[in-house]
Structure 1
Amino acid sequence: MALKLKGVEYEYIEEDLKNKSPDLLKYNPVHKKIPILLHNGKPIVESLVILEYIDETWPGPPILPSHPYDRAMARFWAKLIDEKCSSAMGRACLSNGEEQEKANEEANELLTFLENELIGKKFFGGDTIGLVDIAANFIAHWHRFFEEFSEIMQPPLITKDKFPNICEWVNDYINCSIVKENIPQKDKLAQIYLDLIQAAKAAAQ
């Protein structure tokens, strides 16, 4: 998404994480995971690090704000989403029983923080997509998925009654022209989530 916003041409290589390629292990031997940005033969890893590298390397619309305080706040929210929200929402969707209840409480608390951060804003970055919006990309995709497969997640984690600002942000975000052009195929994304849910249920039995 960041490369698209900057107008940078790139080659996208998909990885099978169940059968990691030699290149993945070569370019990210520490974490052995994606994403990896390979630029001039040199690898940059970790999502938020990559986003800042892209912003500093190429001209075009800025991903981070110009003011130091605003930049610090953008980094704070992006880190919260990357390290806390994704984990809590994942456990809320894929766990069961008491663990799921605790994860739901944590996810709701974190989503409430994000809901309040969006008051008076179209995007987390203001009027344009920025670092925090890209970090929160998965929230938009998860919300779309669970709206379509609502019978899987009861009650749904994000609703218009509980989180109207987040729901409005999801709508604005996925309907942004650059985002719309790069939304993962619905069927493919749905199958990934369904496989995760089925695997979690099987592990719990």
Structure 2
Amino acid sequence: MSLTKIVPSKPIKLYCSIICPWAARTWIALTQANVEFEYIEIDLKNKPEWFLKEVNPGGKVPTLKYGDDYLIESAVTTEFVADLLPEAKLLPSDPFELAQSRLMADRFMEFVFPAFRKGLYQGDVAGLSAELFDGIEKFEPYLINAKPFFGGSDHPALAEILVAPFVSRLYLAIESGLVDSATSTKLATDPKYAYFNTWAKNLIASPGVVGTFDKTTNLEQIKERLAPK
């Protein structure tokens, strides 16, 4: 990542939430791109009246303001950042590799995300463990040449940024002991999952994720979700 900040042609504001993995997609992209932008935290449990009246009546994050214009929906706003800042190289230059990367992200959401959703959103931690490894095995064929990132890239591109918030929170839950130790041990030691595990840890350690992921706050939020009702 360049040490020199990219100055966009129009000011960028990101209305976001530190606990929302969907909103984190665009935050990661902006941070990974090393572009100047203003971050505005939105309390999702108590959304400010000014946000609902002046920015997004639907109350969704992320909402991205570019100059005087607004965009919503995390996949849209994240791809906009990648398109807007070609110098950040968040999109593979080869059209076929770009298509493959998009398929990779799609397959992650199809095969691995359900374990995340079941465990961390629906509170079924046992279900997370049962589904995770099956999902990884189905997903891995689409994770092409991850050395360290997709396609042999030295940094995460758009497709990996789209899945990074779910990878980081999944590993946070596993490594914090919220998931049974057998799952953690199997993920860390079974050679069958070494390729995925290495890629995931590289993704979590990338500048865009490190610069946006507050482990303490997100762990508290995960524990709150898992607490008996």
Provide the C-alpha distance between the structure 2 equivalents of 1:41 and 1:83, rounded to a whole number of angstroms: 35
Letter in 2 for 1:167: N
Matched position secondary structure for 1:50: helix
Q: Which shifted more, 55-64 or 74-83?
A: 74-83
Report the identity percentage.
26
Q: Which shifted more, 75-84 or 36-45?
A: 75-84
Matched position secondary structure for 2:88: coil
Per the TM alignment, residue 10 of structure 1 is displaced from its structure 2 partner at its CA by: 0.8
Structure 1 residues 14-33: aligned runs within 5 Å: 14-26=41-53, 27-30=55-58, 32-33=59-60
Give the match for residue 78 of structure 2: 51
**Preserved CA contact (<8 Å) 2:64 2:72:** yes
Per the TM alignment, residue 37 of structure 1 is displaced from its structure 2 partner at its CA by: 1.0
Shift of the 177–108 alpha-carbon distance from structure 1 to 2, 3 Å rule, reads same
Structure 1 residues 18-167: aligned runs within 5 Å: 18-26=45-53, 27-30=55-58, 32-82=59-109, 85-93=112-120, 94-96=122-124, 101=127, 106-118=131-143, 120-121=145-146, 122-127=148-153, 128-150=155-177, 152-154=178-180, 155-156=182-183, 159-160=187-188, 161=190, 162-167=192-197
Matched position secondary structure for 1:44: strand
Provide the C-alpha distance between the structure 2 equivalents of 1:147 and 1:104, rounded to a whole number of angstroms: 10
Number of equivalenced pairs: 194
Per the TM alignment, residue 48 of structure 1 is displaced from its structure 2 partner at its CA by: 1.4
Shift of the 132–190 alpha-carbon distance from structure 1 to 2, 3 Å rule, reads same
**Preserved CA contact (<8 Å) 2:31 2:207:** no
Deviations 1:18-47 (A, max 9, x none): 1222354354445x3211111112111111
TM-score, normalization by structure 1? 0.78
Deviations 1:159-196 (A, max 9, x none): 1325212211122223334543x142322121111111
Question: Structure 1: 5+ residue runs without aligned partners?
Answer: none
